[in-house]
Amino acid sequence: MSQFSICTGRWDELQNDAKLIREQVFIQEQQIAVADEWDAEDAISVHFVVYDQDQPIATARLLKNNSVGRVAVLKSHRGLGIGKLLMQQIIQQAKHQQREFLKLSSQVHAIQFYAGLGFNVEGEQYLDCGIPHVDMRLLFASA
């Protein structure tokens, strides 16, 4: 079994590896326009990159407004629990920072994945970049 590690840091530290994953998953695989993928939030978000030894295989970001975004796992590494490992790290970081909640925009096919981590659907389904999404939220219990 491979040994996975997660690095947390700023965009200027993790940009190269995060971009590699996001380009493969969102731009190439899901056909999201380049202009829709890159935004000013990257520079001010906390980024997470999962590595299989030295190879970057998954990424996500945590915005100041408690939003988790750009969650992506390379196709070659899906089904191995890496997305769960990544999200658990983000949830732990959010709890450590005493955030009250996390929110995200889930692609409809991933609702069960996020529900398994404690996220609940909020509102109706909508299209984002032509892909069906739904908003989800995870509330942390007050101490």
> pLDDT, tens digit, for every residue of 10-50?
999 999 999 999 999 999 999 999 999 999 999 999 999 99
Homologous superfamily assigned to 4-139: Gcn5-related N-acetyltransferase (GNAT) (3.40.630.30)
For strands 101-107 and 131-139, give the pairing.
Answer: antiparallel
pTM reported for the whole predicted model: 0.94
